[in-house]
Chains A and B, each alone.
Chain A
Amino acid sequence: MSRETEVHTLSVPPGGTSDRAFLDVRDLRVHFGTEDGLVKSVDGLSFQLERGRTLGIVGESGSGKSVTSMSLLGLHPRADRKGKGGAILSGEIWLDGQELVSATPEQLRALRGQKMAMIFQDPLSAMHPYYSVGAQIAEAYRVHNEVSKAQARKRAIELLDRVGIPQPDSRVDDYPHQFSGGMRQRAMIAMALVCNPELLIADEPTTALDVTVQAQILDLMRDLQKEFNSALIIITHDLGVVAELADDIMVMYGGKAVEYGPAKSVFTEPEHPYAWGLLGSMPRLDRPVQDRLLPIPGNPPSLINLPSGCAFNPRCAYKEACGTACTTVVPELEPTDGAAKHLVRCHLPVETRRTTFTEEIRNHL
């Protein structure tokens, strides 16, 4: 592999900082050496994101969404030279002109919280049970700012107020379990925002919440993103969540992007059969049950032994249409002819995809 050379030479962006996106991920691979074999959790992912924009990453369980976000933050322990005991990382992650795959643990630590932060799925398990909510937010502030405890506490109260916690100056001393689920997620957001990070990653931020609260949290995140002008990555199973919030959508399958493009065109004119399945399995309240679900048959693929050819082929209803290519040749992520930025990884001819979607799929959604 060319990993060694890449890692050590590319510390300065070739074209200077200016023409690179704020977040520029190039051919990211995250593999884990396990007893059963090499798990290719993320395998050749590329995407770009500017400040003030939102990327939605969608995919089934096990498609590599969380591994992607964890590796952006550099949270995986790295494997040793034999490839054991952690993640084997390759590719490039450029954040505001700094390359992160080759950064040292201390450089990454200094960036975490300050430049980039994460909102976790389940705030109850992501907060320390023995410290008050305010103490945790204040501590997150003090990691990167040399201020007194009193100042940090003031900042915590300020943020709790900003994320909509009522009576923040008394609730600041509450423990996480004393908050409701929605308030905890608000507090978690406050904790992530306390140092004004420019990249915010939310890994299923609303999955643990019930529906009414979900909408409020998403609204809050949208407002805060505007206010802070941060780049936001939202990870979810639910296309509905990202359709509203995201500027771009990336659909992941088996560690790879299978469809990537502007949210509007991915959501209204999806071209990959897996994306159709995702859209179809999205519950729609305006249809009777039988009509509205078009679930994807079969199980997510093994990341150790991906099916040959297109990884989706064992579950794809359209593979017959392109001969043996689906089971023998790995399709590339290629532009569709319409929107230049809409990329799809499928052997079906563009025309066939369009007509299949408009004639067969759309009616069932």
Chain B
Amino acid sequence: MTMTWEPGGSTGTEPIADTPTGAPTAAVEGRSLGRIAWNRLRKDKLAIVGGIIVILLILIAIFAPLLTSIEGASENGINTNLIDPNLQIPIGGMGGISSQHWLGIDLPEGRDLFSRIAYGARVSLGIAFLSTLLALVIGVVLGMVAGYFGGWIDSVISRTMDVMLAFPVLLFAISLSDVLSGTNAFGLNGNSLHFVLLVFVIGFFSWPYIGRIIRGQVIGLKEREFIDAARSLGAKPSRILFKEILPNLVAPILIYATLLIPTNILFEAALSFLGVGMKDPTPSWGQMIDQAVNNGLFQVDPEFLIVPGVAIFLTVLAFNLLGDGLRDALDPKASR
């Protein structure tokens, strides 16, 4: 039982005899779940590798302009001079890799591939993060409300989740983007409109997953005695939901977020590949694959497919490694 957490192994025979001096040792270990989780996570090498890659990717996205200028290239700079006019391939083979173009250049404009990957990271990660955030906010709030209040409220929310999960999202996204293409909406147009649209479509269709998980957790949590105790002292439902229950949901929310982000990266890539996403010249990883495949570039040099493909693969893998590690580290039932 939890008695093992007691200071100095005291079994609580005589409360007065409990020396307060015994407490600090327990405080160091027992104080926060976060600390325990961190100690476990630190020992999980794969999760740490995943975490480092994730951080690097985020840094690349943030510092894309800086990195591009260090490289000596420029975003969307056209370098037709580096392309063999007869063969229509980058001069010098290797896809045009050089000290100025770390990953070579694309066709037919000769744009620097590294800068496109770095700027593409902004778009791909940005859409994935924001849509995940949106999904989390909707999913956590509705999941908590459904689980806590139950009854008809739960029925309505749960059926909505079922409907959303059965919804043909791809068809919806494709038609929505067709309808809206070339128009103004929400005061936006062009790629900014696409960006917002992608965030909303992806976020809006992925909240039911987290919603279900949170609902289940809350149903379990509200039976816990400390909830009854809080209610017995007159706490309001809002306080119980956000101050008593929500702190216990941090672990599943964190875990689910790290697992939802890669899913949403793939989602964005798939939508961009289908031509629904960002339009050239703004790069996104999915759209780079789209160009490699649909413009037949990969037949010239598979690198055009490999570079964005590897970026997506690495990112998804890294988030999944981190997410799995987090899940193990935060799971109170997992034996260490």
Contact = CB atoms under 8 A, between A and B. Distances in A.
Interface string B1-35: 01101110011111110101001001100110100
A113 B234 contact: yes
A77 B148 CA distance: 11
Contact of A166 (B12, B13, B20): B20
Contacts of B150: 77, 85
Contacts of B248: 130
Contact of B229 (A118, A130, A143): A118
Contacts of B182: none
A188 B233 CA distance: 11
Nearest to B222: A77
A125 B226 contact: yes
B229 A126 contact: yes
Contacts of B235: 113, 139, 143
A334 B151 CA distance: 41
A177 to B, nearest CB: 4
Nearest to B27: A178
A124 B224 CA distance: 11
B7 A178 contact: yes
A129 B248 CA distance: 9
Interface stretch (A207-215, A279-287, A293-301): A207-215
Interface residues of B, number: 37
Contacts of A179: 18
A118 B12 contact: no
Query: Residue among B2, B12, B16 with the most chain A CB within 10 A?
Result: B12
B43 interface: no
A109 to B, nearest CB: 5
Nearest to B233: A113
Interface in A153-205: 164-167, 170-171, 174-175, 177-184, 186, 188, 191-192, 195
B159 interface: no
A128 B3 contact: no
A170 B20 contact: yes
Interface in B215-267: 224-226, 228-236, 244, 247-248
Nearest to A182: B15
A195 B150 CA distance: 31
Given A126-B225, A212-B13, A213-B14, A112 B20 contact: no
Contact of B233 (A117, A122, A183): A117
Contacts of A317: none
B151 A178 contact: no
Nearest to B10: A180
Given A130-B247, A178-B23, A210-B12, 16 more contacts: A112-B231, A114-B234, A122-B225, A126-B225, A128-B226, A128-B230, A140-B233, A140-B234, A166-B20, A170-B20, A174-B27, A178-B7, A179-B18, A181-B12, A182-B12, A216-B15
Nearest to A85: B151
Contacts of A180: 6-7, 10-13, 15, 18
Contacts of B14: 182, 212-213
A303 to B, nearest CB: 20
A109 B229 contact: no
B47 to A, nearest CB: 24
A144 interface: yes
12 contacts: A120-B229, A128-B226, A166-B20, A174-B27, A178-B27, A180-B13, A181-B11, A209-B12, A210-B11, A210-B13, A212-B14, A213-B12
Contacts of A182: 12-15
A216 B26 CA distance: 25
Contacts of A130: 33, 247-248
B275 to A, nearest CB: 48
A73 interface: yes
Contacts, number: 123
Contacts of A125: 224-226
A110 interface: yes
A55 interface: no
A335 B324 CA distance: 67
A210 B27 CA distance: 24
A35 interface: no
Contacts of A85: 150-151
B15 A144 contact: no
Contacts of A181: 3, 11-12
A129 B226 contact: yes
B286 to A, nearest CB: 40
Contacts of B33: 130
A103 interface: no
A114 B232 CA distance: 10
A218 to B, nearest CB: 13
Contacts of A143: 233-236
A117 B14 CA distance: 26
Contacts of A110: 234
B232 A117 contact: yes
A127 interface: yes
Contacts of B12: 180-184, 209-210, 213
A338 B18 CA distance: 49
Interface in A76-129: 77, 80, 85, 109-114, 117-118, 120, 122, 124-129
Query: Residue among B12, B15, B23, B31 with the most chain A CB within 10 A?
Result: B15
A75 interface: yes
A359 B137 CA distance: 71
Contacts of B23: 171, 174, 178
Given A120-B225, A127-B226, A210-B11, A178 B234 contact: no
Contacts of B234: 109-114, 140, 143-144
A302 B3 CA distance: 34
A177 B226 contact: no
A120 B231 CA distance: 12
Nearest to B23: A178
A177 B6 contact: yes
Interface string B189-232: 00000000000000000000000000000000000111011111
